[in-house]
């Protein structure tokens, strides 16, 4: 049984995991970098251990220091949160060798699904549709050109090890394909130490719909329905919701079944997400599995009433899922706005700095996951997410109204945030009608189609 959890993360997700541990009566240790020494979440843990300097490569990515911190403090499990080491199969394996429970999937399942190209192969075997693309990795410009001429432009070059939109390039013709092939490889090599790429057909104006999965170590896998995540900037999510608006229930059922089939075939347990693109005719295509808890997990928690982080910890302790598929229901409508320290008027440039005034939204129907407060200085080293503002209401119309009220209440001074763009989104008729796709924000508010990387 797990008794003491070490949280190998920071910010809102560190606080989220600390809270889950408290709710389960577990003691909790958190590691931090010198840039986070004043992080308000540190006070909520039983113990906090400094593991190095601000750059993540000197702290949150230092596996040996995190393991040492777990050993010194007697932690018997590590929760990696999202980002950092959360999808690092080697780290999960090291944890096992050190007799520390890694709160996540097995390193074997992570390896099977972590590489996007390999995951495509598994999906095809499990009879899950994938975006038309190259069969394997693309080694040469000639092979890239051959596929593009066969599939037709536009195409998308993708890093097999990719994440966070890095190592992705859209190409509309031979010239942009050749330059994009090289830059995607270089970017992937720099970001992931793996320059391998493959190519997919670029789906025009798709929706991004993903399915939350939970599996235990006894072979039980359930889905917790879908999240609509099409409202993106630079191909990274800004608004997420469940249920997905205007999605026929038959399509929803087929996507959810496909997700369960895929993760079952990979021998997956813990929480995970299968991401899909859905085209205008409601054809759906698998793109990747995220083998971790995701930023937007609270959307699913609100509609299903299931605490995903608590379940992750229970599963890591070897417990069986306490519910069956038929017990899980999607109730009402939940929407999340990511409040990032970014300037929506300047290409979403990160704006770290001192929060002079912070008056959060509250009241009926609101959930706010944040580590920020007045007087907190956001360090420049990490992701710009400062808060997740969620609403849960019986209908989507009500959820939109409550979100408008909440965004109006939320006051942040000293830094720029994404609140103003959210206010625009929640007053835009096409969004209110649920007519969303991944190009929406850039098309409607910035007057150009979404671009994947620089062409
Ligand atoms: P990452 O892991 O880097 O975030 P994903 O594979 O999850 O990359 O894709 C991120 C986003 O990029 C998707 O939500 C979608 O907006 C866009 N995208 C990915 N693949 C395609 C594709 N084949 N066609 C069109 N857009 C795509």
Give the CATH number of the domain where residue 21 resides: 3.40.50.20
Q: What does the pLDDT read at residue 21? A: 98
Residue 34 · residue 108 · CB < 8 Å: no
Whether 114 maps to a domain, the answer reads no
Examine residue 154 and say whether the peptide bond preceding it is cis (omega within 30 degrees of 0).
Answer: yes
- Cβ of 78 less than 6 Å from ligand 1: no
Q: Are residues 192 and 85 in the same domain?
A: no
In a domain, 87, yes or no: yes
One domain, residues 214 and 180:
no
What's the CATH code of the domain at 262? 3.30.470.20
Same domain, 169 and 297: no
What pLDDT was estimated at residue 162?
85
**Is residue 165 within 6 Å of ligand 1 at its C-beta?**
yes
| Same-domain status, 335 and 223 | yes
**In a shared domain, residues 191 and 216:** no
Instruction: Report the atom number in ligand 1 closest to the C-alpha of 203.
Output: 24
Q: For the residues 387-398, what does the mean pLDDT come to?
A: 98
Residue 194 placed within a domain: yes
Is 58 inside a domain boundary? yes
What pLDDT shows up at residue 115? Answer: 86
Residue at 195 is within a domain = yes
Per-residue pLDDT at 454: 38
- Judge whether 231 lies within some domain: yes
What is the structure's pLDDT at 166?
86
- 136 and 53 housed in the same domain: no
Query: What pLDDT does residue 447 have?
Result: 85
Cα–Cα distances in Å, from 147 out to 123, 167, 251, 421, 443?
20, 18, 29, 38, 28
Which H or E run contains 79?
strand 77-79
pLDDT by residue (tens digit) across 255-293? Answer: 999 999 999 999 999 999 999 999 999 999 999 999 999
Residues 383 and 236 grouped into a single domain = yes
Q: 373: Cβ–Cβ under 8 A, 6 or more apart, which residues?
A: 40, 355, 358
Average pLDDT, the chain: 96
State the residue for tokens 């608590």.
Answer: 310
Question: What integer pLDDT is reported at residue 288 of this predicted model?
Answer: 95
Is residue 449's pLDDT more than 80?
no
Q: Which residue among 181, 201, 221 closes a domain?
A: 201
For this structure, is 292 an active site residue? Answer: yes
Residue 113 covered by a domain: no
Mutate to test the pocket of ligand 1, among 119, 131, 244, 438 (most ligand atoms within 8 A of CB): 438
Q: How far is the CA of 287 from the centre of ligand 1 (A)?
A: 7
Answer whether 232 contacts ligand 1 (Cβ < 6 A). Answer: yes
Catalytic residue among 227, 292, 314, 338: 292
Residue 253's φ and ψ, nearest 5 degrees, are -60, -40
Q: Strand 197-201 vs strand 221-233: parallel, antiparallel, or unpaired?
A: unpaired
pLDDT over 70 at 44, yes or no: yes
Q: 155 is in which domain, residue-wise? A: 132-201
Clarify whether residues 82 and 184 are in a common domain.
no
Residue pair 76/29 in contact by the 8 Å Cβ criterion: no
Q: What percent of the chain has pLDDT over 70?
A: 98
Helices (runs of H) and strands (runs of E) counted in the chain: 14, 22
pLDDT at 234: 86
Residues 264 and 300 in one domain: yes
Q: Mean pLDDT across the stretch 294-303?
A: 98
Residues 294 and 318 both lie in one domain: yes
185 and 273, same domain (yes or no) = no
Same domain? 299 vs 405:
yes
- Give the phi and the psi of residue 230 in degrees, each rounded to 5: -80, -20
Total number of domains constituting the chain = 3
| Distance between Cα 200 and ligand 1 center (Å) | 10
CATH code, domain with 161? 3.30.1490.20
- Compute how many other C-beta atoms are within 10 angstroms of the C-beta atom of residue 275: 18
How confident is the model over 343-382, as pLDDT tens digits?
999 999 999 999 999 999 999 999 999 999 999 999 999 9
Tell me how crowded residue 171 is: count the other CB atoms within 10 A of its CB: 25
State pLDDT tens for residues 126-155.
999 999 999 889 999 999 999 999 999 999
pLDDT (tens digit, 9 = 90+) per residue, 58-86? 999 999 999 999 999 999 999 999 999 99
Do 277 and 131 contact (CB within 8 A), yes or no?
Answer: yes
Q: Report the C-alpha gap between 161 and 196 in whole angstroms.
A: 7
DSSP-based three-state secondary structure for 249: helix
The pLDDT score that the predictor gives to residue 278 is: 98
Q: Choose the final residue of a domain: 173, 201, 229.
A: 201
pLDDT of residue 455: 34
Confidence of residue 451 (pLDDT cuts 50, 70, 90): low
149-202 pLDDT per residue, tens: 999 999 999 999 888 888 899 999 999 999 999 999 999 999 888 999 999 999
**CA 249, CA 147: separation in Å to the nearest integer?**
35
What are the angstrom distances between the C-alpha of 384 and each of 33, 290, 367, 372, 381?
16, 20, 19, 12, 9
- Please state the length of the chain: 455
- Output the CA 39–ligand 1 centroid distance in Å: 32
Asked whether 187 lines ligand 1 (CB < 6 A), one says no
**Is residue 120 included in any domain, yes or no?**
no
Taking a C-beta distance cutoff of 8 angstroms, is the pair 102, 80 a contact?
yes
For residue 208 and ligand 1, the question of a CB distance below 6 A is answered with: yes
Determine the pLDDT at residue 453: 45
Structure-block tokens of residue 126: 């499990």
Helix, strand or coil, per DSSP, at residue 230: strand
Atom of ligand 1 nearest to the CA of 168: 3
Domain end among 201, 231, 257: 201
With a 6 Å cutoff on the Cβ, whether 287 touches ligand 1 is yes
Say yes or no to pLDDT of 318 above 60. Answer: yes
Over 80: is that where the pLDDT of 448 sits?
no
């Amino acid at each position: 049984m797990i008794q003491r959890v070490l949280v190998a993360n920071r910010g809102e997700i560190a606080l989220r995991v600390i809270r889950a541990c408290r709710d389960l009566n577990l003691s909790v240790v958190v590691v931090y970098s010198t840039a986070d020494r004043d992080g308000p979440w540190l006070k909520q843990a039983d113990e906090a251990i400094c593991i190095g300097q601000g750059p993540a490569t000197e702290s949150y990515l230092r596996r040996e220091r995190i393991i040492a911190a777990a050993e010194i403090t007697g932690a018997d499990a590590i929760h990696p949160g999202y980002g950092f080491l959360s999808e690092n199969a080697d780290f999960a394996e090291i944890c096992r060798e050190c007799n520390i429970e890694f709160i996540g999937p097995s390193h074997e399942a992570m390896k099977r699904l972590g590489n996007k190209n390999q995951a495509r192969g598994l999906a095809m075997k499990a009879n899950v549709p994938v975006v038309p693309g190259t069969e394997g990795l693309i080694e040469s410009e000639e092979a890239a050109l051959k596929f593009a001429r066969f599939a037709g432009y536009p195409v998308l070059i993708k890093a097999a090890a990719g994440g966070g939109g890095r190592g992705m390039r859209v190409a509309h013709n031979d010239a942009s394909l050749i330059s994009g092939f090289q830059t995607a490889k270089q970017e992937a090599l720099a970001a992931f130490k793996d320059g391998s790429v493959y190519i997919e057909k670029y789906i025009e104006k798709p929706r991004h719909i993903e399915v939350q999965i939970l599996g235990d170590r006894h072979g039980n896998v359930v889905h917790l329905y879908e999240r609509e995540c099409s409202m993106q900037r630079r191909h990274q999510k800004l608004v997420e919701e469940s249920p997905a608006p205007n999605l026929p229930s038959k399509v929803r059922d087929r996507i959810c079944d496909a997700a369960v089939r895929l993760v079952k075939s990979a021998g997956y347990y813990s929480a995970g997400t299968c991401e899909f693109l859905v085209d205008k005719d409601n054809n759906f295509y698998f793109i990747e599995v995220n083998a971790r808890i995701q930023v937007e997990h609270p959307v699913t928690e609100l509609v299903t009433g299931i605490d995903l982080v608590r379940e992750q910890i229970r599963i890591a302790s070897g417990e069986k899922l306490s519910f069956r598929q038929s017990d899980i229901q999607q109730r009402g409508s939940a929407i999340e706005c990511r409040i990032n320290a970014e300037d929506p008027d300047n290409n979403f440039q990160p704006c770290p700095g001192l929060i002079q005034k912070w008056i959060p939204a509250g009241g009926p129907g609101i959930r706010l996951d944040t580590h920020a407060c007045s007087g907190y200085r956001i360090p420049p080293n990490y992701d710009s997410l400062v808060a997740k503002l969620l609403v849960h209401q019986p209908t989507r119309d009500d959820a939109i109204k409550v979100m408008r009220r909440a965004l109006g209440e939320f006051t942040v001074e000293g830094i720029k945030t994404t609140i103003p763009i959210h206010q625009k989104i929640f007053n835009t008729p096409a969004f209110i009608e649920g007519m969303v796709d991944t190009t929406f924000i850039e098309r409607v508010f910035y007057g150009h189609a979404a671009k994947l990387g620089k062409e």
